[in-house]
Every structure is written in C-alpha cells, then in structure tokens.
Amino acid sequence: MVDLRSDTVSQPTPAMREAMFSAALGDDVFSEDPTVNALESRIASLFGHQAGLFCPSGTMSNQIALAVHTRPGDEVICDEGAHIYRYEGGGLMANSGCSVKLIPGDRGRFTKDQVMAAYNDPAELYSARTSVVSIENTCNRGGGSTWDRSTATEIVTYAKSLGLSTHMDGARIFNALIARNEKPLDWGPLFDSMSICLSKGLGAPVGSVLIGSVEFVAEARRVRKRMGGGMRQAGLLAAAGLHALDHHVERLRDDHARAKAVSDVLSRSSKVEMVMPVETNIVIYVLAKGASAKAHVARLQEHGILAFAIGPDRVRLVFHLDVDDAGTEYTTTILTSLLA
C-alpha cells in the first residue's frame, strides 16, 4: 500500500518510538514536563521567539493563537483556501466569535495591496474590526506552494503599521524552508505567532508548537486549558517532536524530489488538464474534462495507492517519510498506465 492521502499518515519510526519510551516525564499542566519544556524552548529559539506551547494539533494551535489575538466581533484576513477558515470546523467563528475577510490569492499567497483592500477602516463603526493577518506556509490548498519572503515582509510591515497582529500557520514551515533554502530565523521574527506542526512531514504522531512572546504564550496557555488541551505527561509525545527535529528535517528534500517526479509524469498525460507547480511535498492535479476524481481515486486504490479527491475533478497526493523510492516508482508506473 502506498498511502499518499496526507503526510499525517506516517508511522513513528522505531528510533522515534525508542525516544518516546525513554523520555523524562512530568505533569505539563504544572509546566513540569522536562521533555515538553525542552521542545517548547527549542522551537521558540529556533525561530527567534521567546516562548512556546505544545498543543495536541495544528488546529488547536491556530485556534488558540487567533483567540488570543482577537476579541469577539473582530475580523481575520486570510486566503480563501486557508486551513484556519476552511478546515478547522468553523472554529474561528465558534471559538473566537470572529469573521473572516477572504483574499483570492495565488495558490494561497497574496499581496500587500490585497491586504490593504481587505482592511476595514476602524473609523467605520459598521464594519468588523480587522485585527489579524494570517498566512499559511506552505499553502495546503495551493499544492504546497511557498511564500516569497519579501512579499510576506511587505504584508507584515503594513499590518504592523496598522497595529494588526500577524500569525503564520506554519504546519509545513520546514518544507517551505527546505524548498527555498531558508532558515527558521529568516521567518520567525516576522510574526507575532506561529504554529508549527510536528505530525506532518516531520513524522511525529501528534503535536504542534505555538510560539510567540512570553505574554502571548502565557495567555495561550490559559486558552489551551480552556479548550481542554492541557495534557499531563505529554513528554511522551514531545520526545517524538524532538527526535523529528534532529532526524527528519533534511530528509524533506527527498519527499519534494519524489513529489516532483510524480508531477512530471502527470504533466505528460493528455488525461490530466493541469498539475499545480510542485514546490514541496504536495501534488495537486486536475483531470481532463468529464473525468471523475472519485472514480480515479478508486482505480488507484485497486492498485494499492491511496489518494484524496479534493474536488469533483481534483486529486491530491502527499509525500512523506513512509513513501520511499520504490513506492514512488510504483506510483508513477500505475499513474502512467491509468492515465495513458
């Protein structure tokens, strides 16, 4: 079976399980878990932030960040395909009482001019108060597209000049850094908060770390408790994250190369209308007119390849630690024959 539905499906490696078993533990609600504390401060300092908070999921770290940055009735600016809006169960509205101003970006990326147009003048009392600009890097619905740092810097500079908070959904930030040969410190200091997932390409079973200032994280810790995300001997899970940082970052290049190899095969098929440019580990393609993504995914499954239909004619493949060269070659062979 080659499971390309998501990079969240990977299993912890034997070495990662070993690290988890031998982790030193404590009660993290009392901030006494040494492994959680080590993970939080390691990720925070890697990205030039003061403090971190280990959360059960990327969804929870995004939701906590937005709850801390906003008040009910506020509005968050993000791309129309943003995970915080489309895939977090309406959490922004339910948890924070906020609305969104959606920008039609270029595969998830938008510009300062678009943010300027989306911003509500606070003097207009009938409009929701704009309080946050959130960007996602890499952009999931954009096919793993990455942001250009100068575009993001322009947006952040503008947002800060208006007193807005800035958040990055960095569920796959390490993929973006590897793809662009950038460093965590190139990005971290731009944002008031970042959520960084361990359970996607990095291959840990659970977890996301939310980073920001000491004051931000103190408030985030309160919100995490309120949401039921206060975990106890969570070092068992944090140990997997520390192991992933040591062993699974550089190897993301392999996932990117495998994704590119498969996209090259897809681009040559006349039964594929469009393949999004592949920058990282995600391949999104649109089947030629009339073909059903569901039927195509079912055919792939008959050959032991799992994929996601993310639209009527749109399919997503995601490469990760449990897909090797043999799995990639097998996938290209099957795709070549199904789409001949």
Ligand X SMILES: Cc1ncc(COP(=O)(O)O)c(C=O)c1O
Q: Is 136 a binder of ligand X (CB under 6 A)? A: yes
Torsion, Cα 30 36 39 43, to 10 degrees, reads: -40
Query: Which residue, 62 or 130, has its beta carbon nearer to ligand X?
Result: 62
Q: Is 57 a binder of ligand X (CB under 6 A)? A: yes
Q: How far is CA 180 from the centre of its chain?
A: 16
CA atoms within 13 A on the CB side of 202: 29
Nearest CA to 139 among 91, 87, 202, 193? 87
Query: Which residue, 119 or 142, has its beta carbon nearer to ligand X?
Result: 142
Backbone angles phi, psi at 32, to 5 degrees: -110, 10
Nearest-approach distance from CB 60 to ligand X, in angstroms = 7
> Which residues share a beta bridge with 130?
75
Pick the stretch among 43-51, 55-63, 143-151, 264-272 that binds ligand X (CB under 6 A): 55-63
Query: Which residue, 79 or 192, has its beta carbon nearer to ligand X?
Result: 79
Query: Which residue, 59 or 131, has its beta carbon nearer to ligand X?
Result: 59
Nearest-approach distance from CB 322 to ligand X, in angstroms = 16
CA–CA separation, 184 and 174 (whole Å): 8
Query: Which residue, 80 or 273, has its beta carbon nearer to ligand X?
Result: 80
Q: Is 83 a binder of ligand X (CB under 6 A)? A: yes
Helical ranges in 25-78 per DSSP H: 34-46, 58-69
Among 3, 44, 51, 59, binds ligand X (CB under 6 A): 59
What would the two tokens of residue 123 be? Answer: 């003097």
Please name the helix (run of DSSP H) or strand (run of DSSP E) that holds residue 294, with its range, or none.
helix 293-302
Residue nearest to ligand X (CB): 58
Cα–Cα distances in angstroms (integers) from residue 53 to residues 94, 169, 186, 205, 322, in the given order: 22, 14, 21, 17, 28
Q: Is 280 a binder of ligand X (CB under 6 A)? A: no
Dihedral sign of CA atoms 222, 227, 231, 234 in order = negative
Nearest-approach distance from CB 218 to ligand X, in angstroms = 23
Q: Is 208 a binder of ligand X (CB under 6 A)? A: yes
Nearest-approach distance from CB 163 to ligand X, in angstroms = 26
Q: Is 3 a binder of ligand X (CB under 6 A)? A: no
Backbone angles phi, psi at 55, to 5 degrees: -120, 155
Q: Is 169 a binder of ligand X (CB under 6 A)? A: yes
Q: Is 197 a binder of ligand X (CB under 6 A)? A: yes
Among 70, 96, 140, 281, binds ligand X (CB under 6 A): 140
Pick the stretch among 32-40, 58-66, 127-135, 320-328 that binds ligand X (CB under 6 A): 58-66
Nearest-approach distance from CB 226 to ligand X, in angstroms = 18
What would the two tokens of residue 38 be? Answer: 């080590």
Query: Which residue, 58 or 184, has its beta carbon nearer to ligand X?
Result: 58
CA–CA separation, 27 and 254 (whole Å): 37
- Measured at the CA of 116, the angle between CA 125 and CA 161, to 5 degrees, comes to 85
Q: Is 175 a binder of ligand X (CB under 6 A)? A: no
Q: Is 313 a binder of ligand X (CB under 6 A)? A: no
Contacts with ligand X, residue ranges (CB under 6 A):
57-59, 62, 83, 136, 140, 169, 171, 197, 199, 208
